[in-house]
Chain A
Amino acid sequence: MPGSVRCKAVAWGGDVAGTPVALPPGMTGKLLQVFGVLFVLALVGGSIAGFGVLKDRVKVVVGPDAAATGPDPIAELKDDVNVLAGDLTTLQQALGSNFEQLAAGIDERAGARHAELMGLQRDLAAVQKQLASLGQENAALRQQLAQLGKQLEALPAGGGMQVASAPGGAAALPAEPPPQPQPQATPAAVEPPPPTAPAEVADAPKKPDAAKPKGNFLFGGARFRCDEPHDYEIVPELSRVAFDAKSTLHDFTGVTQNVRGTFRIDFDDPQGAWTGSVRCDATTLKTGVDGRDSNMWEYLDTKNHPAIEFTLEKFEPAKDGVDVARQTAKGEVVGTMRIRGKQKSVRMPVQLEIDAQKRLIVKGEMPLSLPDYDVPVPSQLGVINMEKDVKVWISLRARVKAGGGK
């Protein structure tokens, strides 16, 4: 039936069965309106309630859309990287050119320094030459002074000059004080040497200033000049004569230090009369193997010819081979070698120098053929053979003999 509503009313505590109720005309519309209003109110109320509940839990942020408005970060990064790469390249180029300039500067300075150094070396060499010549002049002046001193001392005594010199003679300092009072001398305690003749002293200009005693052995004494003739005597303890030989099996050296000899040498007159001799005891030659040594002595016939001798006849200097300032010389010694009683003319290239102790050092070597001296060449069973050619070498030191240079 229109306008009627079947409703079911449920009361508290009971149940009322629903019965159809007839509504007056227009009531339905009003009811619908009421229900609609109630629905809207409920909706609004529910929204408000929900808002109240959720307002503290929900945060709404309203911002601009960045993707749509800002630049691309990756592109920016790429730009930055490119800029950095460009800076790095520029820096690298700048550094490279700076290093090149630095290297060029260093080379230039090194070249300049080298030139300076060469100049200094030349100056030094010139100064050394001057010093050497001054030293020689000084020595000559000292000798003249010494002679003048002797002449002066001779005047008061009327010519009977006593030259006080030690028993050692030429190169020794006097131990006895001279007639003139010398405050530093102690006559009572000094050993009186025998007087030497004035003429003897005058003949040996290189003898020390014997007129006045000195307080020590460092003053006075002989002055060495290699550009004057000197007699040298070999010091065996510092000398060797040897030969190098070869055989089928191996090489070996025979050496001896039993060497004696003297030389007369003048560096200032290399083509002058250089004389001397060297003698070594062949029975003392050793190769390190006893059996081989005894064979060697047998071949050298040391029973009849115990010595090997070299006699110096002259010296032929090499071109620019003599340096008086440096006290060195090189060239060839020419002389006679005597082995096993057989004599032969030989030439030996040598180097000479004066060491700090004023000793003469002589080094040289030369080939030598054993058959030239009738020395049999060892050969055993035709299998073990020694070569007929050997190399003879010398390493000698000789000290100046007293009284040399006359």
Chain B
Amino acid sequence: MAMVGACSLAAGCFGGTHIKPEERDIDVPMLDLAFQPAGAIVLDGLYESVDIQGDMALSWRKVYYLFSPNGSYTAAALGDGDAGPAFTTLTGTWKCEARGLSLDDAEPLPLEQAPGHLRLSAAGGSLVLAQRKLP
């Protein structure tokens, strides 16, 4: 037993070191995307949130939008409730203008795009959506 223990301790001599303080954190992948104003683009397809910042992050863990080129959308968001996580769904209309994306005729929100991504900004934070293929 002592030999086994000694061997096990000795085995550790082949490569043993502490994790450096600067490597202790779990890396949160940062999006390295160059966003540009989207302008009056046509939205089409499924988008999944990959980054939620600001107060919106308190409410939503995940957000999905499915845009149709005819100007309608359906969306779902996973939030936290008293009974645990639950989805909230929405449907409505969208319109893309030079000023941004107007959902249900509301004030346009600044909309930016990068390859395969959209970013919506509001006072409550920002939402980065990545385009996905419909399963």
Contact = CB atoms under 8 A, between A and B. Distances in A.
Given A190-B91, A208-B59, A251 B16 contact: yes
Contacts of B21: 393
B5 interface: yes
B13 A250 contact: yes
A242 interface: yes
B8 A289 contact: yes
B105 interface: yes
Contacts of B80: 168-172, 401-403
Q: How large is the interface on B (under 10, 10 to 19, 20 to 34, 35 or more residues)?
A: 35 or more
Interface string B58-95: 11100100000000001101111111011111111100
B114 interface: no
B32 interface: no
A380 B88 contact: no
A352 B36 CA distance: 34
Contacts of A180: none
Nearest to B61: A399
B6 A381 contact: yes
A223 B51 CA distance: 18
A87 interface: no
A167 B81 contact: yes
Given A168-B88, A183-B105, A250-B17, A217 B56 contact: yes
A272 to B, nearest CB: 21
Interface in A376-404: 378, 380-381, 383-384, 386, 393, 395, 397, 399-403
Given A191-B89, A357-B52, A378 B9 contact: yes
Contact of B75 (A168, A217, A383, A397): A217
B113 to A, nearest CB: 16
Interface string A230-250: 000000011110101001011
B45 interface: no
Contacts of B25: 240, 363, 395
B120 A238 contact: no
Contact of B58 (A221, A251, A288, A363): A221
A29 B63 CA distance: 156
B12 interface: yes
Given A214-B106, A250-B13, A169 B83 contact: yes
A175 interface: yes
Interface residues of A, number: 72
Contact of A222 (B19, B55, B86): B55
Interface string B1-41: 01011111111110111110100111010000000000000
Interface in B92-135: 92-93, 103-106, 109, 120, 122, 124-125, 127
Nearest to A193: B88
Contacts of B127: 217-218
A217 B90 contact: yes
Contacts of A218: 56, 109, 120, 122, 124-125, 127
A194 B128 CA distance: 30
Interface stretch (A31-39, A45-53, A291-299, A301-309): A291-299
B12 to A, nearest CB: 5
Given A292-B9, A380-B2, A402 B91 contact: no
B86 A169 contact: yes
Interface stretch (A2-10, A13-21, A103-111, A252-260): A252-260
A218 B58 CA distance: 11
A89 interface: no
Nearest to B15: A288
A247 B13 CA distance: 10
16 contacts: A167-B88, A168-B81, A168-B87, A172-B88, A190-B89, A215-B104, A216-B90, A218-B125, A221-B59, A223-B55, A242-B19, A249-B16, A257-B26, A292-B8, A292-B9, A358-B58
Given A249-B13, A397-B28, 20 more contacts: A171-B59, A173-B88, A175-B90, A191-B89, A218-B109, A218-B120, A218-B124, A218-B125, A221-B58, A222-B59, A252-B18, A287-B12, A289-B12, A291-B11, A380-B2, A380-B6, A380-B10, A381-B6, A402-B79, A403-B82
